[in-house]
Structure 1
Amino acid sequence: MEVVICGSGEEIGRHVADVYEAVLRGPAPVIGLATGSSPLVAYQELIRRHREDGLSFAGATAFLLDEYVGLPLSHPESYAAVIRRELTDHVDIDPARVFSPDGTAADLAAECARYDAAIAAAGGVHVQLLGIGTDGHVGFNEPMSSLTSRTRPKTLTRQTREDNARFFDSVDEVPTHVLTQGLGTISSARHLVLVATGSAKAEAIAAAVEGPLSARCPASILQWHRHATVFVDEAAASRLEFADYYRHTLAHKPDWQGF
């Protein structure tokens, strides 16, 4: 795992966009997309590069991490709608190649199996963007999720529903269940990129990066991954015991190595 402490959210966005641009310029790119506030600066930078620098998404296939159960895809807070609003409507990706779990499926277990099979059929995800919850969840893998879990239905904790209530009129309107890629599904991506900003994420980042590999902190699964990069600002890094080490290694990183 590589930890990169950045001076601002904008710097994080540029680094993440660099990672995605390298994949998008390769053959048959498959990109993993996340929703929420953490990825927004990166998406804005990717949109800028598309508009100003000609970065193309035309050959890409995209898979979303998760979707609410019971919300139609047309609902403004479905993740399928959110990702269109935040990214895919602003670039040249084929909308038919942007996939998300169907939270309205009659058989949710079968839908989850179908989604995992679709990711595998596409050749697997080259780079997966992740945020982190204040309790350490990634995707909607809440604490005590299986570290080898696949895409499946999950029940949201009260804390996560309260965190997401800002997108709805009240917490009571936030669905109780979701379909989410499991930690095993997420870990099958070739490169995991986790972003976090602000002091509210500092404890979760410290647990994920420097705590034990444990279902108590689902994001700690990144410690087990062969290629994981964590981009944080100073506030999110404030609880890291080895912050000086991460700064030192970044300062002496060979130019050819990249992220």
Structure 2
Amino acid sequence: MDFILVGIVALLGSGLTFFSGFGLGTLLLPVFALFFPIDIAIALTAIVHLLNNLFKLTLVGKKADIQTIIRFGLPAILFAFLGAYTLTKLTYLEPVYTYSLFNEMHEITIIKICISVLLIFFSLFDLIPKLKRLEFDIKYLPLGGALSGFFGGLSGHQGALRTAFLIRAKLSKEAFIATGVFIACFIDVSRLAVYAKDLFLLGDKLNYPMLITATLMAFIGAYLGNKFLKKVTIHTIQLVVGILLIIFAILLGIGVL
């Protein structure tokens, strides 16, 4: 059942990234968090996210705009390191509060609160029309790269900000997607370089079959999503997923998950 859940989410999440605001990382993170501590869930999501984006490059990479990649991507790389470093520091802070619920102990930690707030914040980008239409002048591309990189390194949430800043770059739909994939790869490599130490320490404790399942299903989702690239965003799916993410974020923030 675990593999089926992870596989379905990876398939749908990857496919929807081509024409929906929610990214694979946003959808896959809550599922991994059901089986792993939140910091490890973020790292595992980053691995699947990177491998999936590398696969996407083979599908749409030729359309990328190099100038935009440089202006947005370089600050994103630097601040992704900072965001990932911040995550590692938050992981080892003592719980803020511990309580018992149905004879089980639950902890409210700083890292869970931070990820919870970010999940709710970025979910609102796809639920509130004004936020969905948010755009920034092209002169702020380096700032957008820095913000997208930092939050990408901290929690994996980079897509919403990246879209808000790149939308004014006057790129074709194909170039916009390809450029975003390139930048996402930069951020994923940067944050995984920081996460790697904790992942190596886990060794055999990681569920590699689950990780492989998520990656392969994400590949299939990316391939199918690219086939339907011309389709419009599915509003109903965005609404349902956004509400579910907010519920998950609340449960995570109060220590139930």
What TM-score do the two structures reach when normalised by structure 2?
A: 0.27
Q: Identify the structure with the greater helix proportion.
A: 2
Instruction: Using CA pairs under 8 Å that are at least 6 residues apart, name the structure with larger relative contact order, 1 or 2.
Output: 2
Q: Identify the structure with the greater strand proportion.
A: 1
What TM-score do the two structures reach when normalised by structure 1?
A: 0.26
